[in-house]
Structure 1
Amino acid sequence: MVVSFGNLEELITLVNNVHGFDLSGYSRASLKRRVSRILTIYQIDFAGLKDSLVNSPGFFNEFLVEVTVNVTEMFRDPAFYKTLREEIHPYLATFPHIKVWSAGCATGEEVYSLAILLSKEGLYSRTFIYGTDVNTAVLERAKQGIIDLKKMKVYSDNYLQTDSGDSLSEYYTAMYDSAIVHHELRKNILFSTHNLVSDGVFNEFQLITCRNVLIYFTADLQHKVVNLLYASLALFGFLCLGARETLPANGLRHKFRVISKTHNIYQKIA
């Protein structure tokens, strides 16, 4: 079903007016694909979508699940996690307390990946990890720490490529068709709602990961979000972006040192 860019602007205004959710900073190309997919899934036209958003209780939450991108996996880009362990963790080890923020965490696979690496390095007991997302439905799944056992084959292969020297199966219990992350790895994690578009700083962190989130935003919103992440970092803290992301050329780039150009890892220096 065809969605015009005029339709998108109308939809952005409606969602903001009715639900107070601002989609104006989202990439129009990405938003067009997601909205077209929603029309196909629900077998409705654009008028039906607007009607559902206004008159159907609960539909907005379903809409939000589909319109925001929630693709994630454990140890995605294994070389990134290997770099994190070898180059960043020794520095984190110098802090008496470590605060980590996984922004746009979706169903939590990245959060649990970070917890496993920190545990393996003996750092988890003095670490607290915040996993945030705008989508409450995916956060509820993240809190459970339950992952489809079929996905664990891929995740285990990813983990092996980090050269950690052990098996991912040591960190979860298999039960029927699910894998449950061990309680010891979940006790220092808090999943909560945070909107990168509209919410502000809520803590000071030694490590922030915001990977494969900025690519769905316009340039202006990317700049705004990077400023938020910068303000949320402790001095000499680390910011990790996705493989196809980088710091905006203007603005704050001079306040970061490049730790890994390949994996887009930066350290706040001013």
Structure 2
Amino acid sequence: MQSNKQAQREEIEVDLLCEGIFRHYGFDFRQYARGSLKRRIKNLMDLEGLATISALQELVLHDKQMMERFILNLSINVTAMFRDPGMFAAFRKEVVPLLKTYPSIRIWHAGCASGEEAFSMAILLEEEGLLGKSKIYATDINEVMIKKAKTGIFPMEVVPEYTGNYQKAGGSQSFSHYYTAKYDYARLRPELLKHIVFSKHNLVTDHSFNEFNVIFCRNVMIYFNSQLQSQVHQLMYDSLYRFGILVLGTKESVQFTGQQASYKELDHTFRIYQRCS
């Protein structure tokens, strides 16, 4: 069990690590939820065989590849196609009729990891006859994940799970219609991928880069402290057209934010909101 002095020293080390990364690389982890941040730091220390956070800091500041591993470890990469299929079913019911009234559609998936949520949206829009007038922007802080997402490749071993999710989400085709299989991997059809733009974007330090009809920011802000959550909520609000749609994770909400009065709740279970002012 840690002594008070050890705990205090560890807090100082975490502060110095985050400050050093911010000043040297421009990535700002200083307002991430402390418990989650420390767990991920310690996990990386175990993987690298390091005894102290200070030792990790030295490597991170002097070795760019170590910094890339740090980012990869801190990024939230748990994803699947049509993950939370009920959300996609609700999206079809509540949001698609609105999108059908627009001449063009821009959708932003913030924190896209390896791209499965954006792949899913491309399939949904294709089935609803909307993909031809849509552009999907998928962004993440993690360049390794962005590079992987651009390939549109996923392992065949996950296809049964993805197929089940797709069916529960209201899919109208055979899921195999949307990919080609080769050996142990599947690749999303190129005509779906061409409607997705993958790029690096840091929700903490970067600004709004467009206006959108829909923004997905699911299961990202739970890892931020309240101040950073407030900052990102403002970014989402500034990036939405009036009557645009914001989709959060099931443990996230616009309640008690500065923008709460500007949204109408369309689906409570799956946290789908419409900006109304």
TM range (shorter): over 0.9
Residue 144 of structure 2 corresponds to residue 163 of structure 1: no
1:5·1:32 contact (CA, 8 Å) conserved in 2? no
Q: Which piece of structure 1 moves more, 113-122 or 13-22?
A: 13-22
Deviation digits for residues 150-191 of structure 1 (CA, Å, limit 9, x no counterpart): 112111111111122322111000111111000010111100
Match of 1:190 in 2: 197
1:209·1:240 contact (CA, 8 Å) conserved in 2? yes
Equivalent of 2:74, from 63, 67, 74? 67
Report the alpha carbon displacement of residue 7 of structure 1 after superposing the two structures with TM: 2.3
SS at structure 2 position matched to 1:18: helix
Residue 241 of structure 2 corresponds to residue 227 of structure 1: no
Report the alpha carbon displacement of residue 235 of structure 1 after superposing the two structures with TM: 0.7
Q: Which piece of structure 1 moves more, 223-232 or 151-160?
A: 151-160
Report the alpha carbon displacement of residue 67 of structure 1 after superposing the two structures with TM: 1.5
Residue 32 of structure 2 corresponds to residue 26 of structure 1: yes
> What's the Cα RMSD here?
1.4
The one-letter code of the counterpart of 1:44 is L
1:223·1:248 contact (CA, 8 Å) conserved in 2? no
Aligned residues: 270
Report the alpha carbon displacement of residue 144 of structure 1 after superposing the two structures with TM: 0.4
Residue 147 of structure 2 corresponds to residue 131 of structure 1: no
Gaps of 5+ in 2: none
Residue 202 of structure 2 corresponds to residue 177 of structure 1: no
Equivalent of 1:5, from 11, 17, 23? 11
Please show how residues 17-166 of structure 1 align to structure 2 within 5 Å: 17-46=23-52, 47-166=54-173
1:5·1:28 contact (CA, 8 Å) conserved in 2? no
Q: Distance in 2 between matches of 1:248 and 1:175?
A: 46
Q: Distance in 1 between matches of 2:74 and 2:211?
A: 29
Structure 1 stretches (4+) deviating beyond 3 angstroms?
A: none
Report the alpha carbon displacement of residue 86 of structure 1 after superposing the two structures with TM: 1.3
Q: Distance in 2 between matches of 1:57 and 1:227?
A: 32
Q: Distance in 1 between matches of 2:41 and 2:257?
A: 32
Match of 1:217 in 2: 224
Q: Distance in 1 between matches of 2:141 and 2:170?
A: 33
Match of 1:256 in 2: 263
Q: Distance in 2 between matches of 1:228 and 1:55?
A: 32
Residue 208 of structure 2 corresponds to residue 201 of structure 1: yes
SS at structure 2 position matched to 1:150: helix
SS at structure 2 position matched to 1:246: coil
Q: Distance in 2 between matches of 1:133 and 1:254?
A: 28
1:133·1:192 contact (CA, 8 Å) conserved in 2? yes
Q: Which piece of structure 1 moves more, 50-59 or 2-11?
A: 2-11
The one-letter code of the counterpart of 1:5 is E
The one-letter code of the counterpart of 1:88 is V
2:88·2:169 contact (CA, 8 Å) conserved in 1? yes
Q: Distance in 1 between matches of 2:129 and 2:117?
A: 18
Report the alpha carbon displacement of residue 45 of structure 1 after superposing the two structures with TM: 2.1
Give the TM-score of the pair, scaled to structure 1: 0.97
Residue 22 of structure 2 corresponds to residue 16 of structure 1: yes
SS at structure 1 position matched to 2:186: strand
